[in-house]
Amino acid sequence: MLEVTGLRVAYGGIQAVRGINFHVNQGEMVALIGANGAGKTSTLKALARLLNAAGGSVRYCGKEILNLPPHQLVSAGIALVPEGRGVFPRMSIVENLQMGAYSRRDNDGIEADKEHVFSLFPRLKERAFQLAGTLSGGEQQMLAIGRALMSRPKLLLLDEPSMGLAPLMVQKIFEVICAVAKEGMTVLLIEQNAKLALEVSQRGYVMESGEITLTGESGALLEDPKVRAAYLGE
Amino acid sequence: MDIFIQQIINGLVLGSIYALVALGYTMVYGIMGLINFAHGEVVMIGAMVALSVVKALAASGLPVFAVILIALAAAALVCMAIGFSVERIAYRPLRRAHKLAPLITAIGISIILQHTAMLVWGRNYHAFPPILPASAHEIFGATITSLQVAIVLIAGLMMAGLMVLINHTRFGRAMRATSENPQIAQLMGVDINKIISATFVIGSALAAVAGLMVSANYSIAHYYMGFMLGLKAFTAAVLGGIGNIAGAVLGGILLGLIEALGAGYIGDLTGGFLGSHYQDIFAFFVLIGVLIFRPSGLIGERVSERA
């Protein structure tokens, strides 16, 4: 479904991503793990067209997307939950969800999906008309995921959904991510929390200093001595 | 007492016009952090176009209402085209530039528009043809003309319409989202270039209406009128809290009242040393005061923004 080949991202002269290859199959949850500064977020931003790639190609459903303007990705079926949530703080929860469905015109479907998001995150329903800026970090993460689902994506890109959250909240968020994946969503998950990411995904890629150094089944990566030493603190 | 009431009425009329213009400043600032100093000149061009159309049609025998409507439509079209082109030609290429670059460009555009208007309409003052019925009404010992009533009502309606557009429509949501975080808005599928263009066009349409109001109310228009009007409307936007829509309305009305009351009483207060022609100083006292004591304006940020 997603085929990344030779992707490079550079900030001025500094290469953050040095020609990486990976792919995500339909219906799969794939984890991209690595330490802070390994180039994970740069990779995702390039996929979402928030950054211009310095080279390489990204094919989604067989079509090159690196030349699409950023606002057309969502109608193509790609939704990103950005690092740091990126909710609209001065808009209510309902309005944030409506923004998620901006690319759609089917009002009945939008209404139904809103109820679906509320059933996934009952906390959001209780606060439906509260401004998003007044929510806790975990609630904002719920909202950011809910908002991404509102576009009915085929491919969900998650950037560090566990970042800065209490363990209990992380658990809740990941329960929902797994539930969404079970419904058939294709997910690319970027995480610093390698253990968590490899536990929920089918396959994983390990990124170091802008390159992919290891790849395989998530279960196998969890057992890999190098991964255990570098990311699982053993 | 009648001076007080009279100046309140004058202040409301003036304030409604300031508010319409201030909305243009605040919308553009809210969405791209740019103070569009050329906005006052768009008002001037609106006034000039409207006045020219009224002049041309004054003897045509058309009903007054139709003449005004045609003048308004012409002014709005010209202003919207100017607003759209200015953003496209002058500001868009500078979107990633240092903030100072578009600001200086705005001043440059303002000079260009002003001098173009001077070439087209000359340096003279133009009188607004006296086609409007000069009916005056008495309230509490003060007079208010039908024109003034119309100005306040129309301005109020337009502001209410804008509020509904921004707060309760899909387009308005996209506008607010773009103003809060353009990158994320793009992720939602918002074409922010279109939103920015639309913002300039809407602001310019409001400016055209304000231009017609000013020239009709003072019966005069001049190629240089946009400068002071623009500065005052900008002051009104800052007073309310620049970037804040309700703030622009509040700031506009307040500034109008302050100016009118100030002009009404400055003679008495200074023992005749300063006369009502010193009216303009109040806006700048207000601007300096706000910048020193409450830079975020009267309606500043309402919500703490957590990352």
Residues B165 and A169: their CA atoms lie apart, in Å, by 37
Which ipTM did the prediction report? 0.91
Strand-pairing partners, residue A214, are A206
pLDDT band per the 50, 70, 90 thresholds, residue B302: very low
Q: Which two structure tokens, joined as six digits, stand for A31?
A: 């984890």
Architecture of domain A27-46+73-231: 3-Layer(aba) Sandwich (3.40)
3-state secondary structure of B97: coil
**What domains are there in chain B, each with its CATH number?**
2-125+139-293 (1.10.3470)
Mean pLDDT, residues B119-136: 89
Residues B78 and B149: their CA atoms lie apart, in Å, by 26
Partners of residue B174 in chain A, C-beta under 8 Å: 99, 102
Of A158, A148, A143, A152, the residue nearest A196 (C-alpha): A158
Mean pLDDT, residues A120-141: 94
pLDDT band per the 50, 70, 90 thresholds, residue B307: very low
Mean pLDDT, residues A92-101: 96
- Percent of chain A scoring above 90 in pLDDT: 80
Domain boundaries, chain A: 27-46+73-231
Question: Does any CB of chain B come closer than 8 Å to the CB of residue A94?
Answer: no
pLDDT digits (tens, 9 = 90+) for A34-66: 888 889 999 999 999 888 899 999 999 999 999
The answer to whether B252 and B19 are in contact (CB under 8 A) is yes
pLDDT digits (tens, 9 = 90+) for B14-41: 999 999 999 999 999 999 889 999 999 9
What pLDDT, on the 0 to 100 scale, is given for residue A14?
87
The 3 state secondary structure assigned to chain A is CEEEEEEEEEECCEEEEEEEEEEECCCCEEEEEECCCCCHHHHHHHHCCCCCCCEEEEEECCEECCCCCHHHHHHHCEEEECCCCCCCCCCEHHHHHHHHCCCCCCHHHHHHHHHHHHHHCHHHHHCCCCEHHHCCHHHHHHHHHHHHHCCCCCEEEEECCCCCCCHHHHHHHHHHHHHHHHCCCEEEEEECCHHHHHHHCCEEEEEECCEEEEEEEHHHHHHCHHHHHHHCCC
Mean pLDDT, residues B121-139: 87
What pLDDT, on the 0 to 100 scale, is given for residue B19?
97
* Helices and strands counted in chain B (H then E): 11, 4
Record: contact B305-A75, CB cut-off 8 A: no
B279 has pLDDT over 60: yes
Other beta carbons less than 10 A from residue B65's beta carbon: 8
What pLDDT, on the 0 to 100 scale, is given for residue B142?
86
Partners of residue A153 in chain B, C-beta under 8 Å: none
Q: Which of A57-61, B238-242, B252-256, B265-269 has the lowest mean pLDDT?
A: B265-269
pLDDT digits (tens, 9 = 90+) for B206-223: 999 999 999 999 999 999
Across the interface, which of B184, B189, B191 has its CB nearest the CB of A86? B184
C-alpha distances out from residue B157 to B27, B151, B202, Å: 18, 10, 15
Residues B54 and A140: their CA atoms lie apart, in Å, by 55
pLDDT digits (tens, 9 = 90+) for A138-184: 999 999 999 999 999 999 999 999 988 999 999 999 999 999 999 99
Least CA distance to A151: which residue of chain B?
B188
3-state secondary structure of B221: strand
Mutation pick from A49, A50, A71 vs chain B, by most beta carbons of B within 10 Å, is A71
The vertex-B207 CA angle with B299 and B119, nearest 5°, equals: 135
What pLDDT, on the 0 to 100 scale, is given for residue A228?
86
Record: contact B187-A75, CB cut-off 8 A: no
- Percent of chain B scoring above 70 in pLDDT: 97
pLDDT digits (tens, 9 = 90+) for B67-120: 999 999 999 999 999 999 999 999 999 988 998 999 999 999 999 999 999 999
Write the DSSP string, B179-212.
HH-HHHHHHTT--HHHHHHHHHHHHHHHHHHHHH
Q: What amino acid occupies position A220?
A: A
Least CA distance to A71: which residue of chain B?
B189
Burial class (CB in 10 A: 0-12, 13-18, 19+), A192: middle
3-state secondary structure of B145: strand
Record: contact A99-B191, CB cut-off 8 A: no
Mean pLDDT, residues A190-201: 92
Question: Does any CB of chain A come closer than 8 Å to the CB of residue B145?
Answer: no
What pLDDT, on the 0 to 100 scale, is given for residue B132?
82
pLDDT band per the 50, 70, 90 thresholds, residue B66: very high
